[in-house]
Amino acid sequence: MRHLLALASGLLFGLGLIVGGMSDPAKVKGFLDLFGAWDPSLALVMGGAVAVGLIPFACAARRERAWTGEAMELPPPGRIDGRLLLGGLLFGVGWGIAGFCPGPALVALGAFGSGSEAALIFVASMLAGMWFHDRFLARAA
What is the average pLDDT across 99-119?
77
d(CA 24, CA 17): 9
Average pLDDT along the chain: 84
46-94: per-residue pLDDT in tens? 898 899 889 988 888 888 888 888 888 888 888 888 888 998 898 888 8
**Spatial contact of 61 and 74, defined as CB atoms under 8 Å apart:** yes
For residue 121, give its domain range: 2-140
- Residue 130: is its pLDDT beyond 70? yes
**Regarding predicted confidence, which is higher, 121 or 113?**
121
Q: Which amino acid is at 5?
A: L
Rounded alpha-carbon distances, angstroms, from residue 125 to 43, 90, 98, 101, 132:
26, 13, 11, 12, 10
In degrees, rounded to 5, the angle at the alpha carbon of residue 93 between the alpha carbons of residues 89 and 99 is 135
Question: What does the chain come to in residues?
Answer: 141
pTM tops 0.75? no
What is the average pLDDT across 13-19?
84
Q: For the chain, give the percent of residues with pLDDT over 70.
A: 95
* 3-class DSSP state of 88: helix
* 3-class DSSP state of 99: coil
pLDDT of residue 5: 87
Give the gyration radius of the chain's Cα atoms: 17
**Regarding predicted confidence, which is higher, 126 or 141?**
126
**Spatial contact of 40 and 28, defined as CB atoms under 8 Å apart:** no
- Residue 101: is its pLDDT beyond 80? yes
In the chain, the number of structural domains is: 1
